[in-house]
């Protein structure tokens, strides 16, 4: 059988920005691309939505995207098994099996958004369940575990303990972080390792991580399906296209098909040494000129990380890139992080000594330092005195809310 795998549409992403329509357009394009391959089934690996409670506009666009599948024709019977309970379902269109993602996750007493799509007749939701599809003497068993909080993921996988069905091609769907694909070890971020994944499956496919890739794992193939939209502007997403995957159950071959129309992303980390404003401006402008010299159908995403050290006397807040952003603002969507190491320990000590010599009160020194630190983080102008008073009174939540409101 031919099986299409898609993931992480993040419908509703970018609300209020010029990218709001992008998630819907890409999801529709991905589903069209999948349908064009005439697959025997479509697997969706979670984070269909960007929010656990989608807006009415998002629901409207989601229904329009999935309505394409209802127009297809495919007569087949599906057996869904959960906790020893079997359910026979007749399907008249290409069957879609989906798990929910971490963005859709809700407590056991609440229905999640993917379950709503099932109620509307667009797909079959799997969570600690198996769906068996049989056509022309071949049997496919799709085992699915929806996304859950990372610290509980390994325990949930072990408790469920999925076992491959004999006489079938077995596919396991997950939506979790995997330790080997992350730069640090933290069970709040990832509790599952590749070695924890169950054996005996022909294919183990994982959503959640937004770049696609495959690797051999025991007697299985491990697949990252990747997302259909860039949401976090990570380096790996600048190196990989967005698209869908096709799995051939007989040959065990996986093909990647890119979306016909997608937004480019440029990512680079530039390291400076004792740099002045002009040097930084020239380096950034050159990089942008190189990247944006050609006309693009969609505005590219630009992610720059500026690191290293600044010339003596300069701090992050002294580096202005406003003119550059104005110059290239019509050609790209920017995200420029200034992470200069200008506030070393010695520099902080020197700064405190200088403030001490001014004979200012502790309150005045605290106010000055807070105002400077807020400026360096890009929060902009705020009532720093009121904020300091809230912190002094232990009203941390109110202080945080005040900062978030102005940001």
Q: Which two tokens stand for residue 114?
A: 């993917």
Q: How far is residue 390's CA from residue 285's CA, in Å, rounded to a whole number?
A: 41
The DSSP secondary structure of 82-108, one letter per residue, reads: ETTEEEEEEESS--EEEE--TTT---T
Statement: residue 377 has pLDDT above 90:
no
Provide the whole-model pTM: 0.81
Statement: residue 318 has pLDDT above 70:
yes
Predicted local confidence at residue 347, as pLDDT: 55
E strand or H helix at 313, and its extent? Answer: none
Statement: residue 392 has pLDDT above 80:
no
Which CATH topology does 2-258 take?
Answer: Purple Acid Phosphatase; chain A, domain 2 (3.60.21)
Q: Which two tokens stand for residue 242?
A: 């967005």
E strand or H helix at 278, and its extent? Answer: helix 277-291
Q: 91 pairs with which residues across the strands?
A: 76
pLDDT in tens, 65-111: 999 999 998 888 999 999 888 999 989 999 999 999 999 999 888 99
Q: How far is residue 270's CA from residue 278's CA, in Å, rounded to a whole number?
A: 15
Mean pLDDT score of the chain, rounded to an integer? Answer: 88
Statement: residue 407 has pLDDT above 60:
no
pLDDT in tens, 247-282: 999 999 999 999 999 999 999 999 999 999 999 999
Q: Name the one residue in this structure whose structure tokens are 């309150």.
A: 363
Q: How far is residue 259's CA from residue 243's CA, in Å, rounded to a whole number?
A: 5
Contact 222, 191 (CB under 8 A): no
**Percent share of the chain, pLDDT over 70:** 83
For the chain, what is the largest distance between any 2 Cα atoms, rounded to a whole number of angstroms?
87
Residue boundaries of the structural domains of the chain: 2-258, 265-406
């Amino acid at each position: 059988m031919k099986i299409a795998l898609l993931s992480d549409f993040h419908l509703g992403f970018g609300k209020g920005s010029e990218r709001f329509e992008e998630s819907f357009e890409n999801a529709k394009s991905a589903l069209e691309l999948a349908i064009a391959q005439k697959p025997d089934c479509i697997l969706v690996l979670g984070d269909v939505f960007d929010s656990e409670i989608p807006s009415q506009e998002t629901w409207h666009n989601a229904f329009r995207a999935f309505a394409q599948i209802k127009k297809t024709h495919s007569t087949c019977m599906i057996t869904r098994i959960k906790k020893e309970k079997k359910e026979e379902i007749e399907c008249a269109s290409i069957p879609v099996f989906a798990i929910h993602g971490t963005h859709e996750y809700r407590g056991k007493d609440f229905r999640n958004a993917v379950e709503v799509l099932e109620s509307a007749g667009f797909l079959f939701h799997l969570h600690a369940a198996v769906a068996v599809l049989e056509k022309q003497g071949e049997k496919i068993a799709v085992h699915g575990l929806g996304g859950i909080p990372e610290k509980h993921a390994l325990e949930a996988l072990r408790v469920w303990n999925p076992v491959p069905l004999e006489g079938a091609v077995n596919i396991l769907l997950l939506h979790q972080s995997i330790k080997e694909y992350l730069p640090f070890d933290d069970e709040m971020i990832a509790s599952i390792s590749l070695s924890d994944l169950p054996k005996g499956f022909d294919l183990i496919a994982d959503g959640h991580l937004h770049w696609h890739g495959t690797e051999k794992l025991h007697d299985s193939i491990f697949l990252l399906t990747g997302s259909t939209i860039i949401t976090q502007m990570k380096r790996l997403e600048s190196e990989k296209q967005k698209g869908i995957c096709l799995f051939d159950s007989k040959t065990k071959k996986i093909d990647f098909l890119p979306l016909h129309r997608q937004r480019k992303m440029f990512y680079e980390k530039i390291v400076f040494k004792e740099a002045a404003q002009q040097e930084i401006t020239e380096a950034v402008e050159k990089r942008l000129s190189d990247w944006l010299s050609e006309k693009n159908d969609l505005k590219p995403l630009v992610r720059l990380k500026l690191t290293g050290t600044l010339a003596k006397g300069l701090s992050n807040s002294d580096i202005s890139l406003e003119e550059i952003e104005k110059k290239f603002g019509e050609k790209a969507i920017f995200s420029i992080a200034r992470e200069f190491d200008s506030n070393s320990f010695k520099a902080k000590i020197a700064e405190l000594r200088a403030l001490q010599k001014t004979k200012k009160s502790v309150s005045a020194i605290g106010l000055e330092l807070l105002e400077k630190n807020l400026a360096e983080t890009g929060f902009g102008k705020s009532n720093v005195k009121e904020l300091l008073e809230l912190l002094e009174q232990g009203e941390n939540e109110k202080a945080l809310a005040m900062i978030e409101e102005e940001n």
